[in-house]
Structure 1
Amino acid sequence: MPIPQHRRPPHRARWAALAAALCIAATAVQAQPVAVDLPAQPLAQSLNALARQSGVQIVFVTDIAQGQQAPAVRGTLEVRDALQRLVAGTGLVVRAQDARTFTVERGGTAPTGGTPGAAGAAGAAGAAGAAAGATMSEVRVQAARGEDTAYNAASTASGTKTEAPLRDVPQTIDVVPQQVIRDQGATSMQDTLRNVAGVGLSHGDGQRDQVSIRGFTSIGDQFVDGFRDDALYFRDLSNIERVEVVKGPAAVLYGRGSSGGLVNRVTKKPGTDVSDIALSVGSWADKRAEFDVGRAPAGSDWSWRITGAAEDANSYRSQQFLERQAIAPSVLWKPDGATSLMLQADYLHDKRVTDFGIPAYQGRPVNVPAGTYFGSANARDADTSESTVSSFTATFSHRFSDTLRVRNALRYYHYDLDRQNTLPAGTTNEAAGTVALTRSGVDRRERGVFNQTELIQNLRTGSVAHEVLYGLELGQQNKDAVSLTGGTLGNVNLWNPVLPVAPLNGGGAVSASALNRYLTRALYVQDQITLSPEWKVLAGLRYDRFGQETDNRLAGQSDFERTDTTWSPRAGLVWQPTAAQSYYVSVSRSYQPSAEMFALSATNTAIKPEQTTNYEVGAKLDLLDGRATATASLFQLERTDIKTTNPAQPTQLIPIGTQRTRGLELSLAGELAAGLQATLSYALLDTRITRSTATDAGQAVQGKRATITPRNAFSAWLTQRLGDDWSVGGGINYVGDRFANPGNTVTLPSYVVVDAMAQYRIGKATTLQLNLRNLFDRNYIVSAHGSSPNLNLPGAPRNAMLTLRHSF
């Protein structure tokens, strides 16, 4: 990342001495070839992308990359060879410092004007002598590493499945990189997704990650490394390199769902040396430990990495607790530069109180302290959610030639959930000032396997270049669910609830029991077309055959099955008048099966899938010589064939509902000045149910706004490096008012939350970081259920977390 150097004489001597030491120590290093796939783009972006693809460190002064355009480089190459192709004709030279570190420098000159160039030992020593009494101008050094250390990402793994530059993708894709996650002290998906415009938070029944994107619920639109991960649980970030949010339909590559978009977690992978451990303590007795250790021995075909975390915490919410353990080992085998096999495993255990939040009174969440819990008096025994998730992934890739490569990835997962809860979902008696608490529960057992086979071909038709992706996806999921209903436990006062003791019966009697099977068979093709340096086209099409079966086990209930065949297209045109500007227009479509990710029933089996179409125009700009990026998009999303009640027969559903979102999204991320990193985002969303026969809370749903979606939302986070040892940061998160239920009878007021951070570096390998959240101790509602007026979760009061991190 760019490193500011203060204007004082010793620094010039340091640079000269460093140059001398590097030149004396530097020897020719013969590295193993790696698969390189770099489009034509600004040189700084290519250097960063090459570092990510090869797992080496590339160090260069940012000034030398300004205004430099790198050519496309593809093939199985040694890193040094790839670097030399990138800098050919620029006057820059490549030097190897060791097997995993390279510098890119101006050729044939000693360090002058504060630039740490690479000259001979004598020249460097002479520069050191001349530095005495001189004043060094400010220098920025870019350290391109295998993981993002900056706030702006250059490429995406989610938009095209080919690690394409973000500027080449005619669709909005927001990336939350590792450095932002660390600086904010984020430990959950909710923490991370606050940085993304257009994302609304749901509390997910107190037991899962759930968001809305551009006004559309995304309950099943969680992915990991491009695989569907729709099990219902709270994810951990200890094994996550970055989080990518694809806005708008993405069925062209990912299949069903993704009406408003999807969330893809990119995991940490072997291939670099890393040794990192972090210990955190925070408010409400929060204790968390993380580790990340990996080795990639020089000259070896094998590398490995293992990450893990353990957390034990109480909460600002009465009776709440969290117990969590995670571990994720992985190993990479690269027998040659063309072939690799990566094996990954992941295990997560999470136990907590199931918290549905607080009820509403007269159109607002009831005014009680943030810690007030509406559940059972013995919640730690009677209102718990315990989930266990494990997975195994094998990814094989082989490059046949510079123009043809194949990838096959297989993922198996196993998910268990035992949930019991007491919640304020019953009748609210506003005259008496009471709400009914009800008991329920669910046991889920899921097993799933997906296989993706993809062939990537680079070819030319005359002067037109193509990168074609051919894909085949096969998948099967078995989802076994038993639902329990315990009835009303009691009525409690809205402002001073005296909680009843719940029986330890798992949530009540069995009300539903079924095994649901989901079968995915899909073919897809995508072509990234370069018509000229200024004009590019992205086009794709996916064919899905999705089957669903529901086997009911309760007496008197029928079994159901349905198979849908759908086509999901995407097309976009990109205009890049300069290397720093990109403008696009695109259209895409996705589908959602009638039962979504739940059971078929008599009311939904005969209903065709819902469809969502997105029209979008936008711009992506590289600013400050690639150190920052800005994006803007205007879009319209329309979802049709939504299930709604048949007015002629209320027990039936008919596919006539329509929902529309029109919006504007803006973002800015990167280094805005020396040592100043920032990420900012804004969303303006006009969401409407434009057609529906449904009613909610006595109100017609037609014409209402989508739930848990603010019209205006803004977030900003900035960090500033102060000298060599200190960094400070802070952020603001504004969320406009939202509606808790489809009838829009309960409003969740707007809020502003301010956070702060200070970090001190102890030596070269240790940092101490303090994060303060909700600095001004605001009361607010952070999330809601989205379909009920009474399930609204208060946000956390002012709190702190202190983290000691050591790299070795």
Structure 2
Amino acid sequence: MGHAYLSKKSLRLGAFVLLLSSFNFSPAVAQDFALASENIATGSVKGIVRSTDGNPVGFVNVFIKGTNKGAVSSEDGKFHIKNLKEGEYTLVATFIGLEAQEIRIAVTTNETSSVEFTLPKSSQQLNEVMVTATRSKNKTPVTVGKIAIAPLDLPQSVTIVNSQVIADQQASKLSEVIRNVNGVSLGTTRGTTSETFFARGYNLGANNIMKNGARVNTGAIPEASTLEKVEVLKGSAALLYGNVSGGAVINMVTKQPKFEYGGEVSLRAGSYNLWKPIADVYGPISKNLAFRVIGTYESAESYRKSVESKRLYVNPSLLYKLGAKTEILVQGDYLKADLTPDFGIGSLDGRIPTSISRSSYFNTPWAYNEMEQRTTSVNINHKLSNAWKLSVMGSNQTFDRDYFSTERIQANAKGDWGRKLTRSKTAEDYYTGQVNLTGSFNTGAIEHKLLVGTDAERYLNTSNAFNIASLGKGGVYDTINLLNPTKFVARTDEPLATNTTRTEAPTYRFGAYVQDLIEISEKFKVLAGLRWSYQKTVAAKTYDVATDAQTPNPTVTDRYDRAFSPRVGLVYQPVANTALFASYSNNFTPNTGRDVFNQNLAPSIIDQYEVGIKNDFFNDKLSANFTLYRIINNNLAQQAQFLADGVTVNTDTNIKELTGQTTSDGAELDLSGNITQGLNFLAGYSYNFMRYTKTSGLTGSYIEGERLVSNPAHTANATLFYTLQNTALKGLKVGVSGFYTGKRNAGWNNTVGYPEANGLPAGYSRLIPVDGFTTLDVSLGYQIKQFSILGKISNITNELNYYVHENYSVNPIPPRQFVTTVSFRF
């Protein structure tokens, strides 16, 4: 019972934070209550914020000087401050990077005063200010939300990692960016060919990873060094995206064209022969057409012997302004990545062999993983009026992987391992489209921000099976010993692999949704929405490659899933910079893949409850947010360990099983800001307890109360960078980043009756405990005019730990390394 819910200590902490916030703002709340109870007549102020070129400016903080009264301008630049006593006031507008503006106004009882602010820059210049400065995360709308609503108004946790953090940390992989997001952790790196993230206990597969709002393949490690930002919408996003898990949605946002010439060239170099030139060039082609081209090439060896990688990435884009109200953005990117598959040091008798060197390599000398990915998207945004906007997006992504390697390093207690081979060739083809109508309107005194949309997807997975020649008994290529490399003579030849069958598995999805943010009063807002989802999973078709004849499989049929996904949340804002929220959402997750009997899986139903508080302090220079959540999944789908015979180990990630009800409880604390000019920081802590809460209890079922594998109970992050501003060393930058991943389990969750049925002693556990670890990075750099240099020593303490997939891909974390980037901006 002690682990069935959040600990009493965590609950007391949450209650204390909420109570403390209420006490901090009780005078404002009491004043409003007094005004209402005494029925005192009041007036209000309405206005709009524009730039010098006349365009509306959203998310400007506007408040009454000397009071707690204020508002944030909406996307169309409008704001409304209510419940003001009659009198004269000073109205202040603040925007990050600009001096505050003040206007004197008079408020009359039962009337609405009007005012207009004009910020002293054009809309293009203001966009530049937003890029180079750090706006409060609670005031920065996220693309992944599909409508420009400030996170302060959302009953959901949101985190943004901007381009400044990405550049300061010299991040190249998505995992190096995501470690700045508490509650989202890198779980496994199976074969080092891809990265798998977990959030709030849930695996974030392809359905939960987006680029510019469109779903993307996760079979390749995305290029992160050129991103504008990474947005993370924690918890359920089913209303907006349909079949996503309850953990989080990650959206990578690429950089867009600009109507002014500029760019940057840089060279990144580091340990193990890392070389990475990066180029970014942008500017206008004509008055209404702008371009941007970003490209990078990376060549690197590794702390792992015989492991190397080469990556080429190009991201061109065009922005066309068709008049004053319509913009067309065309984006594309191409990624080619060739790397050595590497399953790390493997396992000995089902346990991590810590005596094996971090650099030991056990694959063949010819193993390869060659991947190409192409993405094209078109976004059309049209302003129907100052209050309404229509957005249309279409995208296509193709993914091809050619792979030949050993698999599953699982040696016996003496270190002997019979190496088997896997030869595969896969392709994925995504077509996605969505149409969104957003706008604001009033029904009497109630304000609405409405989103109405629809989306559709067509996904085709093509996989090829091969027959590998010259293998020994049981399909073994050869035998080696992990502890004594000289015990056996290893083979070095690449066997002939013949393509035998091709399997095509299409999936079709469609959804329609409506969401309304209803401002009942200045302090109370309700977010309500409903989605209808449809998915058709077509029975996979298998063809003989030689004859192209289809292999009949009458036992497999098409599956159709339909469901409604509701969402409702309440936001209470006692003052302009504080919000308390509570929300509930329900969604179904169609489970991809098939069971051991080759049938499509039933969907899982997920209920999520979330409460929290968001605060901005010191004129938006510090954001502090706290969240508590509970997520209940009625039947979690996991990769099946064995095939239908219960003996043969399953190596196909598409063969899964429904394992029972799970419950995920957790707490998250986020801190971010720039207290003074030149000082930027991010910090956070998360706790999660995801376990089985209802299973059949029969032999073979999972054990209730057991924590799920790959999920750390605790994670934490902190990063701080400071650039000297007004000294003789102006331009000197120093930084430090620390990341903590707590204890977790690898292997497999235990099942009832497993030890006895397999001749193992009672109490035998399939779980593999993995210790927690902390890595510390330090950075030092200098910028003078257009030149800059930044160096970093990562994992300065040379910490040793492992990312473990099940019990065979045991990959050591990187040791102490050095990397430096030299840049020139023009």
> TM-score per shorter chain, which class?
0.7 to 0.9
Shift of 1:356: 2.1
Of the three residues 429, 433, 441, the one matched with 2:412 is 429
What TM-score do the two structures reach when normalised by structure 1? 0.80
Secondary structure of the corresponding residue to residue 494 of structure 2: coil
- CA change 1:31–1:167 in 2 (3 A) is closer
Give the gaps of 5 or more residues in structure 1.
Answer: 1-28, 45-63, 78-87, 96-100, 109-141
CA distance in 2, matches of 1:182, 1:148: 12
Aligned partner of 2:129 in structure 1 is 145
Partner of 2:158: 173
CA distance in 1 between counterparts of 2:130 and 2:60 reads 20
1:189-208 matches, within 5 Å, as: 189-201=174-186, 202-208=188-194
| 2:589 equivalent in structure 1 | 592
SS at match of 2:176: helix
Deviations 1:771-808 (A, max 9, x none): 11010111111x222xx212111001100101001111
Aligned to 2:380: 396
1:699 Cα offset (Å): 9.8
In the TM superposition, 1:527-538 aligns within 5 A as 527-538=516-527
For 2:511, the equivalent position in structure 1 comes to 522
Over the residues paired in the alignment, what is the CA RMSD in angstroms? 3.4
Identify the residue that residue 629 of structure 1 maps to in structure 2.
623
Kept in 2: contact 1:408–1:454 (CA 8 A): yes
Asked if the contact 2:279–2:295 (Cα under 8 Å) also holds between the matched residues in 1, the reply is yes
Question: What's 1:72 paired with?
Answer: 73
Separation in 2, partners of 1:93, 1:540: 32
Aligned partner of 1:707 in structure 2 is: 709
Q: CA 1:341 to 1:704, structure 2 compared with 1: closer, same or farther past 3 Å?
A: same
Q: Distance in 2 between matches of 1:455 and 1:758?
A: 46
2:734 maps to which of 725, 728, 736: 728
**What pairs up with 1:79-478 in 2 under 5 angstroms?**
145-147=129-131, 149-150=133-134, 152-153=136-137, 154-158=139-143, 160-201=145-186, 202-220=188-206, 221-273=208-260, 274-296=262-284, 300-361=287-348, 364-367=351-354, 368-376=356-364, 378=365, 382-426=366-410, 428-430=411-413, 432-478=414-460
Instruction: Give deviations 1:62-112, integer Å, cap 9, x for gaps.
Output: xx99989455355499xxxxxxxxxx98577999xxxxx98766799xxxx
**Paired residue for 1:127?**
none
Mapped to 1, the partners of 2:416 and 2:89 lie a distance apart of 77
Verify the 8 A CA contact 2:347 2:409 in the aligned structure 1: no
Distance 1:74 1:749, change over 3 A: closer
Structure 2 Cα separation of the partners of residues 695 and 678 of structure 1: 50
Is the contact between residue 383 and residue 421 of structure 1 (CA under 8 Å) also seen in structure 2? yes
Structure 2 CA distance for partners of 1:67 and 1:311, relative to 1, 3 Å: farther
Shift of the 375–684 alpha-carbon distance from structure 1 to 2, 3 Å rule, reads same
Supply the distance in 1 between the matched residues of 2:492 and 2:606 (Cα, whole angstroms). 43
1:350-404 per-position Cα deviation (integer Å, ceiling 9, x unaligned): 110112222234664212221112211x1xxx32111111111111111111232
Instruction: Kindly state the Cα deviation for residue 653 of structure 1 after the two structures are TM-superposed.
Output: 8.0
Q: Which amino acid aligns with 1:465?
A: E
Shift of 1:668: 0.4
- Of 470-479 and 605-614, more deviation after overlay is shown by 605-614
Question: Which letter does structure 2 place at the counterpart of 1:72?
Answer: S
Q: What residue number does 1:562 align with?
A: 559
- The letter of the residue matching 1:776 is T
* Correspondence 1:553 to 2:553: no
* 1:250–1:589 contact (8 Å) kept in structure 2: no
The equivalences for 1:6-25 within 5 A come to none
Matched, 1:615 2:618: no
8 Å Cα contact 1:627/1:671 also seen in 2: yes
The amino acid of 1:741's aligned partner reads G
Report if the CA contact (8 A) 2:344-2:809 is conserved.
Answer: yes
The AA in structure 1 aligned to 2:408 is P
2:797 counterpart (770, 773, 776): 776
| Paired residues of 1:517 and 1:548 also in contact (CA < 8 A) | yes
| Unmatched tracts of structure 2, length 5 or more | 1-49, 79-87, 105-125, 469-474, 545-550, 647-654, 750-765
- What residue in structure 1 maps to residue 46 of structure 2? none
Q: Give the superposition deviation at 1:340.
A: 0.9
Aligned residues: 697
Query: In the alignment, does 2:728 pair up with 1:740?
Result: no
Distance in 2 separating the partners of 1:798 and 1:401: 55
Residues 67 and 798 of structure 1: is their aligned pair in 2 closer, same or farther, counting only changes over 3 Å?
farther
TM-aligned CA distance change 1:451 to 1:646, over 3 Å: closer
Q: C-alpha separation between the residues in 2 aligned to 1:581 and 1:443?
A: 52
Change (3 A) 1:203 1:178: same
Are residues 718 and 94 of structure 1, via their aligned partners in 2, closer, same or farther at CA, if it must alter by over 3 Å?
Answer: closer
Secondary structure in 1 aligned to 2:294? strand
- The separation in 1 between residues aligned to 2:382 and 2:103, in whole angstroms, is 36
Q: 1:754 aligns to what?
A: 776
CA distance in 2, matches of 1:152, 1:71: 12
Measured in 1, the distance between the counterparts of 2:243 and 2:166 equals 29
Deviation string for 1:534-568 (max 9, x for gaps)?
11111111111111111122546455421111222
For the pair 1:500 / 2:490, whether they are aligned, the reply is: yes
Letter in 2 for 1:790: Y
Identity %, equivalent residues: 24
**SS of 2:811's equivalent?**
strand
The equivalent residue for 1:574 is 571
Q: SS of 2:796's equivalent? A: coil
**Equivalent residue letter for 2:709:** T
| Contact map agreement 2:659 2:702 (CA 8 A) in 1 | no
Amino acid in structure 1 at the alignment position of 2:476: T
- After TM superposition, give the deviation of residue 263 of structure 1 in Å: 1.0
Answer yes or no: is the 8 Å Cα contact 2:153–2:571 preserved in 1.
yes
Partner of 2:686: 683
Q: How far off its partner does 1:236 sit?
A: 0.3
Amino acid at match of 2:462: D
Letter in 1 for 2:689: D
What secondary structure does 2:797 align onto? coil
The separation in 1 between residues aligned to 2:226 and 2:586, in whole angstroms, is 32
Q: Give the superposition deviation at 1:43.
A: 7.0
Report the Cα distance in structure 1 between the residues aligned to 2:231 and 2:163, rounded to whole angstroms. Answer: 11
After TM superposition, the structure 1 = structure 2 runs for residues 21-40 of structure 1, keeping only pairs within 5 Å, are 34=55, 36=56, 38=58
Shift of 1:277: 1.4
